[in-house]
Amino acid sequence: MIKEMDIEEFNYVITKELYNKIDKMIEEKNLPMENAILLLKHAGYLKILKNIWIFDFRNSSLNKRIEKMIVEENQKKKEEKNEKFLVDLCECYISLRTGFPPELLLICVPCLLKAASDKEETEEVQKDVEMALFALCFIEENKIFEQKQYLKEM
């Protein structure tokens, strides 16, 4: 349904209120986080494809939840960390947001670079690689974000 929307319809439906409702559904356990991630990645992907600049996500409670989850997942010890989950969170965050706090770029960029460098040739892994590359392409230039920081990961 989202694919068929034009820019006006997309902006009318995908609003701060919708993001806040999704956040509330996650909080109340009416929407599993895995399903929310799929929905958000799809909305973010189409937002980018349609070149829609919306700022509602930035001001939503869902944005705050995802930021917190990214930081918490990144702080876990290596053996406890769920890399796939962290990649999914970063892809959602970057595809839905405009203007990124540097501290979250310092988490998301290396995570996405690592996912994009996976050489396994299964169809599922290649889709994950494409989504990671797609998300990386959407990071706008940021004076604080210096390419030198990520040469090791590249």
How high is the pLDDT of residue 147? 55
Residue 19 has pLDDT above 50, yes or no: yes
How high is the pLDDT of residue 89? 94
Q: Which among 4, 78, 93 has a CA at the least distance from the CA of 44?
A: 93
CB 98 within 8 A of CB 53: yes
Alpha carbons 10 and 3: distance in angstroms, whole number: 9
pLDDT band at 143 (very low <50, low <70, confident <90, very high): very low
How high is the pLDDT of residue 149? 56
Which amino acid appears at position 104 of this protein? L
Residue 126 has pLDDT above 70, yes or no: yes
Alpha carbons 112 and 104: distance in angstroms, whole number: 12
Residue 146 has pLDDT above 80, yes or no: no
